[in-house]
Amino acid sequence: MSHRSGLESEVGQTRIKGRDVLATGMRLMTLVNEWIVGASTVAILAASIVLTLGVLLRYFLKVPTDWQDETAVFLIVGSIFMCGAFVQSHRRHVGIEVLASILPKSVNRSRLFLVDICSLAFCTFFSWKSWTLLLEAIHEGQTTSSSFGPPLWIPYGLMAVGMTLLSAQILLQIPTHLIKKREAT
């Protein structure tokens, strides 16, 4: 579990005053993130019900349940990807706190800014590749190799949307570093 430093908390929760594009984007992302967390909660509950039902059907009724494993995996993995932006918005991801505690605030602020830039580059690349996988799966009609054979556009779509939202969240957070730096001087 990660414990946020005061600086990370400040940067992650900076409220932008005014009616500019950044403030509107942050409010919109907050609404989207809250809705997705609710939907992901339902998906995790559904996955637990599916797994429990699968066990009961196999054990008591001797009914094969090819569908239950993939359904649960799609629900759980989809929830994880879709909630990435929410986790980032609160800076609750796993972080290395040792550096935050020994570095001066100005150096740590620069470190966080650099980490966000690198994270944005990685997540943007990951998003782009996810969208290409999604389009390929749709175009070719790809399915899993199991006897259930659900279409692969479902997990690829959740991955693409989730990583795009994460990229957008990081992109919205980067200017807060500059605003905090300006306010500090």
Q: Which two tokens stand for residue 111?
A: 């470190």
Q: Are 23 and 175 in contact (CB under 8 A)?
A: no
In a domain, 1, yes or no: no
Domain that holds residue 116: 6-184
Which whole number is the average pLDDT over 131-148? Answer: 95
Q: Are 61 and 144 in contact (CB under 8 A)?
A: no
> Does pLDDT of 103 surpass 50?
yes
Q: Are 148 and 63 in contact (CB under 8 A)?
A: no
In a domain, 159, yes or no: yes
Specify which residues 143 forms β-bridges with: 151
In a domain, 138, yes or no: yes
Phi, psi of 21 (to 5 degrees): -65, -40
State the chain's mean pLDDT as an integer: 85
Least confident range from 5-9, 98-102, 136-140: namely 5-9
In a domain, 167, yes or no: yes
Q: What is the biggest distance separating any 2 CA atoms in the chain, rounded to whole angstroms? A: 70
In a domain, 150, yes or no: yes
Residue 11, pLDDT score: 43
pLDDT in tens, 35-80: 999 999 999 999 999 999 999 998 898 888 888 899 999 999 999 9
More confident residue, 180 or 121: 121
Which whole number is the average pLDDT over 163-183? Answer: 85
Residue 147, pLDDT score: 86
In a domain, 67, yes or no: yes
Q: Is 60 helix (H, G, I), strand (E, B) or coil?
A: helix
In a domain, 70, yes or no: yes
> Does pLDDT of 14 surpass 90?
no
Domain count, the chain: 1
- State the pTM of this model: 0.82
More confident residue, 41 or 9: 41
**Alpha-carbon torsion, ordered 92, 93, 95, 101, to 10 deg:** -10
Phi, psi of 117 (to 5 degrees): -65, -50
